[in-house]
Amino acid sequence: MSDIADRVKKIVVEHLGVEEEKVTETASFIDDLGADSLDTVELVMAFEEEFGIEIPDDAAETIQTFGDAVKFITEAA
């Protein structure tokens, strides 16, 4: 697993308080990991800070799963 994926996973695990095994490629933040809409906003904020990138609102809306997040950040970073 890439370094980016590890860092993203760490943020998700810490923020949502879920077990690492549950954070799979297709795991949806809201449907599978128990996030509410405000959690997803906070996750995006945390990703922005961790990776020093800007994630515009329309892009943030497309980040639904752990895999989406890793893909977006890999392309943006």
Partner 1 sequence: MFDLTGKTALVTGASGGIGGEIAKALHGAGAKVALSGTRVEPLEALAAELGAGAFVCPANLSDPDSVEALPKAAAAAMGSLDILVNNAGITRDNLFMRMSDDEWQSVIDVNLTSSFRLMRGVLRGMMKARWGRIVTITSVVGQTGNPGQGNYAAAKAGLVGMSKSLAYEVASRGITVNCVAPGFIATAMTDKLNDEQKGKILGQIPAGRMGLPEEIAAAVLYLASPEAGYVTGATLSVNGGMAMI
Contacts to partner 1 by CB under 8 A: 38, 42, 45
Q: Mind telling me the catalytic residues?
A: 36
Minimum distance, C-beta of residue 67 to partner 1, in the bound complex (Å): 25
Q: Which residue lies nearer to partner 1 by CB, 32 or 42?
A: 42
Tokens of 61: 């809306």
Minimum distance, C-beta of residue 37 to partner 1, in the bound complex (Å): 9
The total number of residues shown for the chain amounts to 77
User: CA-CA distance, 36 to 38, in Å (whole number)?
Assistant: 5
**Alpha-carbon torsion, ordered 41, 32, 69, 39, to 10 deg:** 10
Minimum distance, C-beta of residue 48 to partner 1, in the bound complex (Å): 10
